[in-house]
Amino acid sequence: MRPALTIREFLNQYQQKLKLSFTSRQIGLDREIKLSRQAADTFDAADYFNVIRTSSIAVVGYQESRYIERLDADAQAALFNTLFRGPVCAVICSLGNLLPEAMIRLCEQREIPVLQSALSDSELLDNTRYLLSRALAEHTNEHGVYLEVYSLGVFITGKTAVGKSELALALISRGHRLIGDDITRFTRLAPDVVEGQSPQLLTDFLEVRGLGVVNIRAMFGANALKKNMPLSLIINMVELDRHNSTEFDRLGHISTTRKILGMEFPEVTLPVAHGRNLAVLVEAAARNHLLQISGYNSAQDFIQRQNQAIAKDEKTAN
């Protein structure tokens, strides 16, 4: 289910950025701005005033304002009554464009606030869409540590006490950057982009068993931190024991993925055992993923070389 944003929250967060002021009375503040991607009921969070394909926020620009002005009072009322059948919860007029007083009164009767912006048509709509696309994007919280490793968003998961934070600390000390510890909030910003960031309360901090909570900014400086990053790779830490020692892929030719917010991401299972340099292994996994993105697969290369050697031996034997 997609989140919603009330008009009150929208104004608290974006009133200054969008340079908004009330034209109507301050009403409808608890109405919710939403968007929908359902086939039978698709609508955007913000769009130009349109009674056919309505949106939560209807933007009245130059052309919309002039069209409304050309209509007589009855036609204006009919137009707005049609608009009210949709999901509209606010009307925003761009710089220099106003609604007739009678239309403002109609909106007030329906508890729909009318706002005026000091931004131009395109600037108002573009900025509103950008801000709402992030505020209303699908999101989920996942347990693990999120880092930037070689310009890749790498999410480290595993059972409690498996050593995720210790591994993160080792990677940070090697020059990589922390995004979030313990809980990472992933947001689907586009059909092919899931971005991760730390909740505000946990930003800068890393909990390491034996040391407690440490401030990475204070210890390593601001360059050791990154605010957000698109997700690229998942590392799943699993304790190595006699029961699972034969379960791991030796060649790396079996691809596994994990789904987050409907998108599949490559997942590498990293056996954890005494004496293994896990930070180096994560770096190697990240470098290998970069090679795969560029089209090179080392496991396939090795298998091909092995097959060529077998074929050569068979030819020599014959």
Whole-angstrom distance, CA of residue 13 vs CA of residue 4 = 14
Beta strands in the chain (DSSP E): 5-6, 20-22, 32-33, 36-38, 41-48, 55-60, 90-93, 114-117, 139-143, 145-149, 152-158, 177-180, 183-190, 193-197, 205-208, 212-215, 228-239, 257-260, 263-272
Point out the residues that are catalytic: 143, 164, 182, 250
Q: Are strands 90-93 and 55-60 parallel, antiparallel or unpaired?
A: parallel
Tokens of 254: 């079996």
Whole-angstrom distance, CA of residue 53 vs CA of residue 25 = 26
N- to C-terminal Cα distance for the chain? 65
Partners of 205 in beta bridges: 215
* Longest CA span, the chain: 96
Residue 300's SS3 state is helix
Q: Judge whether 209 and 166 are in contact, CB under 8 Å.
A: yes
Q: Which residue in the block uniquely carries the two structure tokens 């209509």?
A: 71
Q: How many CA atoms lie within 13 A of 128 on its CB side?
A: 36
Whole-angstrom distance, CA of residue 18 vs CA of residue 198 = 26
Q: Which residue in the block uniquely carries the two structure tokens 């939403």?
A: 34
